[in-house]
Amino acid sequence: MEYDKTKKNAYSAVQPTSTLTLGNYLGAIKNWLKMQDELNCYFAVANLHALTVKTEPSEFLKNQLSLYAEFLAAGLDPKKAVIYFQSEVPEHYLLQWILACGTYIGELSRMTQFKDKSAKAEENINLGLLAYPVLMAADILLFQAVYVPVGQDQKQHIELARDLAIRYNNRYGNVFTVPEPYINATSAKINSLQNPTAKMSKSDSDANATIGLTESRDSIIKKFKRAVTDSGNEIIASEDKPGITNLLKIYAEATGKSVAEAEREFAGKGYGEFKLAVGEAVADMLEPIKGEYNKLIADKAYLLETASNNAREASFAARFTINKLVKKLGLAAV
């Protein structure tokens, strides 16, 4: 990426726990595609964050490469943005420790995600799970990010990053940019096909609830045929029809039409015909991404080389922050 001093910086990352979903693509990645042309963007495969749960090494590496290939297949360009594996940039580790020394246990224990995950996995309440938001803050502050595209469930973590930036700036002078959550009002919020009042999540245990970015055409269409709908037979968007509303939003995103246009198109038609049309539209939209992904994932050497080159760019940018900080802290050498 050619760094442009006239542009602001942005940072975001995704854990390599499973394939990206249709919700990830429409709600986040499509927005990243616009951002990479307008901002200095750093996008990471957040493999360090993924270590809070037990992993099988060979499968873990496979998932990291797969996610990187999905990023590129979806249109992220390593010449326009810095796209890298988090673990290849050691400055992440260093800044996390420095920030951890200025973070209070009470701040971390109040985090909603820590409470939720602890309740679900009482046998694996590890330090990493508690300190997860500190690493996230380090990720963001390392690159002096102004904007951090996140969902509502991550806003609390961004608040901690802001608090830490202000705390360190007050103690040591101007060190960090205070980041802002970047929540694009035009980004599609795609919900589960089986529970249309909850967002589509790549961690959902119900395979029929999500659509994978590289899923087969047949599988995509079958899942939409099984999608939960609502009582009645009108195909309209309304609060009392969350299932149909979700499908209308998906159809609109896949075809470039408005929801109102979709409502008119399917006026008087049945749910079965509508769900089939949505499935086919999504399959058509994702087909080029799947084709590009298949080419990329077959070239492991290219993926590793590209990621390593981008990691060097990320590390070079991160050193500016680290060098400034260690002088402020009075560290002998880093």
List residues with catalytic annotation: 117, 199, 202
User: Is the CA virtual torsion 290, 185, 139, 55 positive or negative?
Assistant: negative
Whether 26 contacts 189, CB under 8 Å? no
193/146 Cα distance (integer angstroms): 34
Q: Phi and psi of 43, rounded to 5°?
A: -120, 125
Whether 146 contacts 38, CB under 8 Å? no
Q: Which residue's entry shows tokens 């939960």?
A: 228
Contact residues for 281 (Cβ-Cβ < 8 A; gap 6+) = 251, 254, 255
Put the strands of the sheet holding 40-45 in their side by side order.
Answer: 82-85, 40-45, 9-14, 147-149, 180-182
277: nearest Cα among 214, 206, 200, 220: 220
SS3 per-residue string spanning 220-236: HHHHHHCCCCCCCCCCC
SS3 of residue 212 by DSSP: strand
* Beta strand spans in the chain (E): 9-14, 40-45, 82-85, 147-149, 180-182
224/202 Cα distance (integer angstroms): 16
Residue 88 token pair: 């290849």
Residues forming beta bridges with residue 11, ordered by sequence position: 42
Tally of CB atoms within 10 A around 301 = 7
Give the type of residue at 328. K
